[in-house]
Amino acid sequence: MQDFYLKFTDEAEAQSVLYTKVPTAWDDEGEPTEWYDKPNFANIDTIGVIYEPQEDPDVEPVPYDGWFVNVRVVGEDAAPLEPFSIDPQPYPMRIWG
C-alpha cells in the first residue's frame, strides 16, 4: 500500500491519468455513443482546487495552481502517478483515515 498526493495541471489531465473511458452504448453501426469513466485505481480522493489560507476573512481566497487528488495504491501499477506526485508541505490537505 502506498499513498500518493498528486498535482495535475487541471481536472482534464487528472481524468486522463486516473480513469479509462469505456463504452457503454453503441449505435446501429456499432460505434460507441455513451461512455463510462472506469477508475484505474480503487482508492481515489479528488480534492480539486485548494486555496491558500488567509488570516483576514475579508481577503479574497487565492487558489493554488493545479488540480489536487490523493490516491491510495493497493496492488495497482503506480508508475503513471509518479510524474504528478508532490510532497505537500507543511502537511497534506486530507489524508487517508
Give residue-wise pLDDT tens across range 14-54.
999 999 999 999 999 999 999 999 999 999 999 999 998 88
Distance CA 9, CA 64 (A): 11
- Look up the pTM and report it: 0.85
Q: Examine the pLDDT at 96 and tell me if it is beyond 90.
A: no
**Average pLDDT along the chain:** 93
Distance CA 95, CA 43 (A): 12
Distance CA 70, CA 1 (A): 13
Nearest to 19 by CA among 7, 11, 28: 11
Inter-CA distances, 19 with 40, 49, 62, 63, Å: 5, 19, 29, 25
Number of H helices, E strands in the chain: 1, 7
